[in-house]
Chains A and B, each alone.
Chain A
Amino acid sequence: MFRLTQIKLFIPLLIFIVLASMLYWGLGRDPNAMPSVLVDKPVPLFNLPSLDIPLESAVDEPEPLVNQSVFKGQVTLLNVWATWCPSCRIEHPFLLELAERGVPIIGLDYKDENAKARLWLEEYGNPYQLVIVDQQGKLGLDLGVFGAPETYLIDSEGLIRHKHVGVVDERVWQSDFLALYNSFGGATVSVKGGEVRP
């Protein structure tokens, strides 16, 4: 048997092991991952213009106002984007693909200019059913947005079910969104290869 003094000699080693394992665990964590406090809460109230695309009249008329009720009735993705955001450009083709598969996406054009936003959508294609214009960043603030792109999964009751900060791509969609999307009864999504997922 070890004597107490011999056991005491191992205390620094134990402390080292505990510290090292904690630091190792910390290495694997994403420091930017911030769980949204709004998960399972309703979309904040808002009353904002929607982007008129393409511009029908020559004059930039006041655009129709929309509110939180646009999220009722179907499972929707809310994608926060802006033309000044380089990662949004990277994300854009995948959003187009999701829209093609039948996922309803509503855009939130965050602190942007309408003319630039229209040009962007005309040039790169429009994956959005509707684009909410948030020039002041008020809805963004209420949503706890801290940088574009951000994507929210909103159920048919208008409750936020998931938030993803950063680019959504096939991998993120498969791992973080698809199961939730299906569990809340999202519209049928066609999968690559023509199969249809119930």
Chain B
Amino acid sequence: MINFTGRFKAIFLITMALSLGLTASATFALIETDQLSRPELSARYRQLIDEYRCPKCQNQNLAGSDSPISADLRREIRRMLEEGDSNEAISDYLVARYGDFILYRPRLQQGTYLLWWGPALLLITGLLVAGLFIKRQVTRAGESDLSGKQAPGDALSVKEQQKLDQLLNASPASEPSETTPPPGDKPSL
């Protein structure tokens, strides 16, 4: 049985690896038809087509899209790269035609501040709230330790502790009616 599952596992893994390899090479082939003259241009090209969005198919980048418009835009990007244009120039070119929509990495500008700084703002707010919460818990615990005052939902007061001890020490043979449970206590406990 163990042998069988082992073998099965091996076959499964090999199949998975093979199919992954196949899909990877297929994707690779799609991009690799677009050869650029220098390897550094190819690297920039890969990075750029990852960061631009296909205008037609809204949830794909240029690298992953088969649509004709993406092919056109990829061709334009290759042309501009070969002509020595900077990444900014390529960005400007695309934004001038398709708008900010095309950028998967939005520019830092009025209207995108919230997008860029929102997560940090939320994190800071979260940390502040958590900090305040912890601080309050700690001071509350300290207060109840020192004064013995009852803090709601917190450590037991002296009186409660005595009651608890009494309940725990009661012999199991004794009848339930002898120990009166405190009001609000569930009988099942």
Contacts and interface: CB of A to CB of B under 8 A. Distances in A.
Interface residues of B, number: 14
Interface string A29-73: 001101111100000000000000000000000000000000000
Contact of A146 (B76, B95, B98): B98
Chain B contact surface mostly: helix
A37 B98 contact: yes
B55 A37 contact: no
A118 interface: no
B97 A147 contact: no
Contacts, number: 35
Interface stretch (A87-95, A101-109, A120-128, A135-143): A135-143
A143 B97 contact: yes
A144 B98 contact: yes
Chain A contact surface mostly: loop
8 contacts: A31-B58, A36-B99, A37-B95, A37-B96, A137-B68, A140-B72, A141-B97, A146-B56
Given A37-B99, A141-B76, 18 more contacts: A31-B58, A34-B55, A34-B99, A35-B99, A36-B99, A38-B97, A111-B68, A137-B68, A141-B97, A142-B97, A143-B97, A144-B55, A144-B97, A144-B98, A144-B99, A146-B69, A146-B98, A147-B56
